[in-house]
């Protein structure tokens, strides 16, 4: 069965950054079989996109889906104050709340053009089970791909860590749970829908031993590794006091600067640390809105890209970026790069590349991020006949500069999961209603 999507401005994001202004895309069995402009190939089914833009599906590289339950709290706090206020509230999370939260966060992402969702879950109150499974179920229902992580915290307040003791876990239990989830959920075949990553939370909530053992486990099982790093100046002070070095130096000591690792934020990096990221192949999840919301600073993205670092975009959790819209983050990345480094710091297409190819590279998914033969048929269709794009000639640049947008269609593995701006496999109103019911338990 082949499907031809035609009459579109196709942004392939291939190595040459080829665009077909009057292009088409041929899909077969969930994968791209051909893409081009001009003469159209024959197909079993034909979809006329009426001049819309087609981009690869966006790839989100950092999120905490459960945080949709606690938006707009600690509104003027820095990271550590914000965390201390929210940890006890997050301790109420269970599988039902997680499922409602994940459906909401995933639906928001899908409606912003995101086809692959990474989630960093690290709050596991004792005795609550099924949290990661709930996220995976939500992703399967909405229809996106998910890379779910088994996060962890084992450095509680009484040992000099930031989280309350009731929220930290035993190291052996963390590792055993991670291995169990990987065995049950991680798909090794081509074009996987569900993968598992290993993701201890941060230098200020995880012991050195758990960081090291998490890396050993991930490398034994062939899973990617993720953590938060160098988000705020306070974190750097904390690391210097506890470990006598910067967060990046600490990570290097742990064997965590490597090509199977990506780190969220990386706002506060010295020039030689940026170079070390490039040399070691360590990736970065850039979360510009969250960094602005918490007043953390602006990551040196132009320098990171120039140093050859793999950089993707993340919305981050909805308690520090209340709007989980990944296409908006593409525009935000452009704006903050220019705010920090001047008007030539990033082009509109460069920003779009971070949200698509960059994200795929960060997750080490060479089957995603571009529209080329053999890649997964994951793409977003954007209407260009609305009010906001009037007067634009370069519609691709205009799409980025006028964000946010609700995606018109979203296709994952050849299947449409958004059509006419609405979820196909789930009901947005029902998701919102059930989410509000669960969120009540987190209100006070």
Run of H or E residues at 213: helix 208-221
Instruction: Please report how close the Cβ of residue 232 comes to Zn ion at its closest, in angstroms.
Output: 12
Q: Give counts: helices (H), strands (E), the chain.
A: 15, 16
| Complex with Zn ion: residue 154 or 316, whichever CB lies closer | 316
Q: Could you tell me the CA-to-CA distances from 314 to 58, 195, 296, 299 in Å, in that order?
A: 10, 17, 15, 13
Instruction: Please report how close the Cβ of residue 412 comes to Zn ion at its closest, in angstroms.
Output: 24
- CA trace torsion 161, 167, 173, 177 (10° rounding): -120
Instruction: Please report how close the Cβ of residue 64 comes to Zn ion at its closest, in angstroms.
Output: 6
CB atoms within 10 A of CB 41: 12
Q: Using CB under 5 A, count the residues that bind Zn ion.
A: 1
Alpha helices in 19-94 (DSSP H): 79-90
Instruction: Please report how close the Cβ of residue 82 comes to Zn ion at its closest, in angstroms.
Output: 11
| Complex with Zn ion: residue 316 or 322, whichever CB lies closer | 316
Site for Zn ion in 305-334 (CB under 5 A): 316
Instruction: Please report how close the Cβ of residue 62 comes to Zn ion at its closest, in angstroms.
Output: 6
Beta bridge partners of 244: none
| Complex with Zn ion: residue 141 or 316, whichever CB lies closer | 316
What would the x/- binding string for Zn ion be over residues 356 to 395, using CB under 5 A? ----------------------------------------
| Complex with Zn ion: residue 316 or 378, whichever CB lies closer | 316
Rounded Cα–Cα distance for residues 59 and 191 (Å) = 14
| Complex with Zn ion: residue 141 or 154, whichever CB lies closer | 154
Q: Could you tell me the CA-to-CA distances from 381 to 85, 367, 390 in Å, in that order?
A: 40, 19, 18
What would the x/- binding string for Zn ion be over residues 263 to 302, using CB under 5 A? ----------------------------------------
| Complex with Zn ion: residue 316 or 325, whichever CB lies closer | 316
Run of H or E residues at 37: strand 31-37
CB atoms within 10 A of CB 126: 11
| Complex with Zn ion: residue 119 or 316, whichever CB lies closer | 316
Beta bridge partners of 10: 20, 54
Instruction: Please report how close the Cβ of residue 201 comes to Zn ion at its closest, in angstroms.
Output: 8
- Cβ atoms of 318 and 324 within 8 Å: the answer is yes
Site for Zn ion in 154-213 (CB under 5 A): none
Site for Zn ion in 63-92 (CB under 5 A): none
3-class DSSP string for 113-176: CEEEEEEEECCCCCCCCCHHHHHHHHHHHHCCEEEEEEEECCCCHHHCCCCCHHHCCCHHHHHH
| Complex with Zn ion: residue 116 or 370, whichever CB lies closer | 116
Instruction: Please report how close the Cβ of residue 285 comes to Zn ion at its closest, in angstroms.
Output: 8
Rounded Cα–Cα distance for residues 135 and 68 (Å) = 13
Instruction: Please report how close the Cβ of residue 265 comes to Zn ion at its closest, in angstroms.
Output: 7
Q: Which residues here bind Zn ion, judged by CB under 5 A? A: 316
């Amino acid at each position: 069965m082949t499907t031809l999507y035609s009459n579109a401005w196709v942004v392939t994001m291939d190595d040459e950054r080829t665009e077909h202004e009057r292009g088409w895309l041929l899909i077969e069995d969930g994968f791209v079989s051909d893409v081009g402009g001009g003469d159209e190939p024959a197909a079993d089914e034909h979809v006329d996109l009426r001049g819309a833009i087609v981009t690869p599906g966006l790839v989100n590289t950092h999120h905490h889906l459960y945080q949709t339950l606690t938006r707009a709290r600690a509104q003027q706090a820095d990271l550590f104050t914000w965390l201390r206020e929210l940890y006890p509230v997050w301790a109420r999370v269970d599988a039902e709340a997680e499922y409602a939260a994940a459906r909401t966060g995933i639906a928001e992402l899908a409606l912003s053009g995101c086809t692959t969702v990474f989630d960093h879950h690290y709050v596991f109150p004792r005795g609550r089970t099924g949290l990661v499974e709930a996220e995976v179920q939500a992703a399967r229902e909405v229809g996106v791909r998910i890379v779910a992580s088994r996060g962890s915290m084992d450095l509680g307040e009484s040992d000099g860590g930031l989280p309350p003791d009731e929220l930290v876990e035993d190291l052996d239990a963390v590792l055993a749970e991670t291995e169990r989830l990987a065995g049950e959920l991680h798909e090794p075949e081509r074009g996987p829908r569900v993968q598992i990553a290993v993701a201890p939370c941060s230098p200020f909530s995880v012991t050195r031993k758990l960081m090291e053992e998490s890396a050993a486990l991930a490398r034994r099982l062939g899973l990617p590794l993720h953590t938060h790093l160098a988000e705020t100046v306070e974190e750097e002070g904390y690391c210097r006091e506890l470990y006598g070095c910067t967060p990046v130096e600490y990570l290097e000591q742990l064997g965590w600067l490597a090509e199977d690792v990506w780190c969220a934020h990386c706002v506060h990096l010295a020039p030689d640390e940026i170079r070390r990221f490039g040399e070691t192949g360590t990736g970065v999840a850039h979360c510009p809105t969250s960094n602005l919301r918490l007043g953390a600073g602006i990551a040196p993205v132009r320098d990171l890209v120039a140093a050859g670092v793999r950089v993707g975009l993340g919305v981050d959790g909805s308690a520090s970026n209340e709007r989980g819209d990944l296409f908006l983050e593409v525009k935000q990345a452009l704006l903050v790069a220019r705010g920090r480094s001047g008007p030539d710091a990033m082009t509109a297409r460069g920003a779009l590349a971070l949200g698509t190819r960059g994200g795929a590279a960060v997750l080490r998914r060479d089957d995603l991020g571009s529209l080329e033969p053999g890649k997964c048929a994951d793409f977003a269709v954007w209407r260009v006949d609305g009010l906001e794009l009037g007067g634009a000639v370069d519609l691709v640049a205009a799409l980025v500069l006028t964000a946010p947008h609700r995606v018109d269609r979203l296709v994952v593995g050849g299947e449409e999961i958004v059509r006419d701006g609405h979820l196909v496999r789930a009901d947005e109103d029902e998701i919102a209603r059930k989410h509000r019911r669960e969120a009540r338990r987190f209100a006070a």
